[in-house]
Structure 1
C-alpha cells in the first residue's frame, strides 16, 4: 500500500530554491582555459605527426603493415585539416570583432 507523505510547504520551497552559482570563471580564467585547450589540441596534432613518422620508419624496416601506415597518416591529415579550419575560423572571428565599431 502506498502512503502519502506530505512535505511541509517550507521544505518544498527550500527544495526549489535556486542554488547560487559560485564557479563562474572570470574572463581571464576563461582565456587561460581556452588557451590551454588550444595548446593541448595542437600538441595532440604534433604527436600524431610524430606517430606517423615512427610508423613510416617501422614500415621501411618491415615491422608494420601498409594499412597501419595509411590509417595513421589519414588520421594525422584529418587532424591537421581540422586544426587549420579552426585557426581560419578564429582569425575570421578576430577580424570581424576588429571591424565592429565601438
Structure 2
C-alpha cells in the first residue's frame, strides 16, 4: 500500500480505537456493518493506491521512451490519481471533523 494511503488508514484506525476508549468492551450492535465499512474503506484506499501506482508506472515508461505510451495517457492517469487522493483526504477530514463534533457534545 502507498505510504499516503497507509497513513490515511492508520488515521482511521486511531480514531476507531480512540472512540472505543481504553479497556472498552463496547461492540457495535451489528458486527456486519463495521466489517462492511472496514472492507469498503480498505477497498477505497487500495483503489487510490492502485491509481497512484498506475500513474507512476505510466510516467516511468513514458520517461524511458516507451512509444506505446502517449503523453495524454500519462497526464490523465496522473490527474485521476490526484483527484482520487484529494477526495480521500477530504473524506478523512470530514470524518475527523464529525468525530470531534460528536466527542464535544454534552451527554
TM over 0.5: yes
Name the structure, 1 or 2, with higher relative contact order (CA <8 Å, separation 6+).
2
RMSD between aligned residues: 1.0
| 1:46 lines up with 2:49 in the alignment | yes
For residues 2-13 of structure 1, the aligned pairs below 5 Å read none
Q: 2:106 aligns to what SS in structure 1?
A: coil
Segments of 5+ residues of structure 1 without an aligned counterpart are: 1-25
Q: Distance in 2 between matches of 1:27 and 1:54?
A: 41
**Structure 2 counterpart of 1:29:** 32
Query: CA shift at 1:35, angstroms?
Result: 1.2
Gaps of 5+ in 2: 1-28
Please state whether the residue corresponding to 1:101 is helix, strand or coil.
coil
Match of residue 70 from structure 1: 75
Larger Rg: 1
Tell me the matched-pair count: 77
- Structure 1 runs (4+) deviating above 2 angstroms are none
TM-score normalised per structure 1? 0.71
